[in-house]
Amino acid sequence: MKYTNTLKMPRFFLRKVRPQLITDIEKHLIEQAINKLVGIKRYIVDCKDEYITIYESNANVGNVKNILGDILKGTTFPPGINADNALDDLANIYNQYFSAVMRFCLDNKERRMFTVERFCFRGSIDDWIYLDGPGTLKELAAKYIKLLGTDEFFVCSLIVNKLEIT
């Protein structure tokens, strides 16, 4: 098997510049909370209008690396490329598709209060489900971001306001 790096052209998106309602500090707070997550999921944080949206990779990069790791170790590569580079490139190809899973909505601009929602993937709903708020972004992020990538994330909308999520 021979490997050739085909990721020569990065992807980019153009969109109209809009007034920034979410501060850099607020975006950074969410990114820090995401970076604390332990696991193999990858997340992207995007701010648009009054929303801070968290996108989750549809790929399980850990599985890709486990399955292909041994196969690539026995492969001959061109100079400057090794099995780890090839594996990272394959994981990046596999990890190109993201879905919005959670968002924080600025509810009160003056007091900087937010609500939090998660996306429901049931065929009959396919829409955002209110989880909590209004509250401070720090409190809501601490309570809900830790649920990303877990089974609890999908049942949290059922237990909101009935039980405290710990």
Which band of pLDDT confidence, cut at 50, 70 and 90, is reported for residue 33?
very high
State how many domains the chain has: 2
pLDDT in tens, 143-162: 999 988 887 877 765 555 44
Both 136 and 156 in one domain: the answer is yes
Both 43 and 78 in one domain: the answer is no
User: What pLDDT is attached to residue 122?
Assistant: 74
Within-domain flag for 14: no
Mean pLDDT, rounded, of the chain: 79
Average of per-residue pLDDT across 101-125: 90
Domain range for residue 137? 19-58+97-166
Is the per-residue pLDDT at 105 higher than 60? yes
Both 42 and 68 in one domain: the answer is no
Both 51 and 32 in one domain: the answer is yes
Burial (0-12, 13-18, 19+ Cβ within 10 Å), 103: buried
Closest CA to 68 of 52, 44, 84, 46: 84
Closest CA to 156 of 107, 116, 122, 113: 116
Both 54 and 133 in one domain: the answer is yes
Cα 12 to Cα 115: distance, rounded to the nearest angstrom:
30
Show the tokens assigned to 67. 């399955």
